[in-house]
Amino acid sequence: MDYNIGIKFEPVHVFMSSLHSYICRKSHKKIDLAPSWAQETKEKLTPDFAQTLDDMLVNGDWNYAYLMAYFAPEGIGVEGFLTWFEQLSVHEMIELFVASGNELPEEEIGVFKKRMLSVLRQWNEQYFKNVDPGILSALEQEKQERIQRLTEIHGEEFVDETTNGMLFKSLPGFKELLLVPQYHFQPLNIVTKYGNRIICHYNARIYLGDDSLIPSHDLRLLRSLGEKNRLKILRFLHQGPCTFTEIVSHLKLSKGITHDHISKLRSAGVLYAHFEGENLTEYSLRKRALGQLQERLFRYIEAE
């Protein structure tokens, strides 16, 4: 493996991923927080701001905004990040973008900055300031545990364990994989390529619900296996990695239905998702997750 692995987490990262989770409307039915979270959050927003977010897309501008969170000095918090962002000059922003292999025309930077600062400040005031502090504590703990784990295992094994089944191929010019734990978008992941760096907001599998209930990530694993076509996919992948098109052909189902089955298996961690840059190219069977199923089930049943 020819790239470095880094672990990073600052409050600004969960701040940004929470907003990403809200504006990524197509994913509301797939995330653990469920559509009710988006609706409850919307009810707390002013009508004008809610409409602004309804009109936003996860596009190039949003990717530039996401990138700013990784340029910011560490330890300054969300308020500090917003102040730092506001004080950046156009020239400084151009330099930051170029350094990451991205370019935004100079004449567009002022408009982008004004628009995004307004959105980010309102999101902080109307949502993030009241977020459960347990989320930040759990993500910080996850970061520390991953840093320690990185001293014990390395390379693909570490990436696999951390991300629950994501593998990134070494490519020319790919120098760093930055892994950032996230909560709001669970069980999905956010993968973005910036120059020679890939930033992966991975599903940290954090459960803050009722202790008497099985954690959502364990329940997801159990549910993922209770469907004949998903089991058929696992059996097919036992022969080796396959593309999405090959799986569709094998199942003889529509692309939409096949994609839904694969998404549920991926979320459960029973598939490897193979990436080249930020592009997912093929899938393979992740046997270790199946081997852990009995252990997880008994851990829940035998808990006192």
- Percentage of the chain with pLDDT > 90? 72
Neighbours of 2 (CB within 10 A): 9
Using pLDDT thresholds of 50, 70 and 90, give the confidence band for residue 186: very high
Cβ neighbours of residue 104 closer than 8 Å, sequence gap 6 or more: 64, 93, 94, 97, 112
Query: Among 140-144, 171-175, 202-206, whose mean pLDDT is lowest?
Result: 171-175
- Do 10 and 74 touch, CB atoms closer than 8 A? yes
Cβ neighbours of residue 65 closer than 8 Å, sequence gap 6 or more: 16, 112, 116, 120
What pLDDT, on a 0 to 100 scale, did the predictor assign at position 110? 86
Query: Among 92-106, 243-257, 274-288, whose mean pLDDT is lowest?
Result: 92-106
| Better-scored residue on pLDDT, 35 or 20 | 20
- Do 116 and 61 touch, CB atoms closer than 8 A? yes
Chain-wide mean pLDDT for the chain? 92
Using pLDDT thresholds of 50, 70 and 90, give the confidence band for residue 304: low
Task: Identify the three-state secondary structure at position 82.
Answer: helix
pLDDT digits (tens, 9 = 90+) for 213-239: 888 999 999 999 999 999 999 999 999
CA 53 to chain centre: 20
pLDDT digits (tens, 9 = 90+) for 34-70: 779 999 999 999 999 999 999 998 876 788 888 888 8
Using pLDDT thresholds of 50, 70 and 90, give the confidence band for residue 252: very high
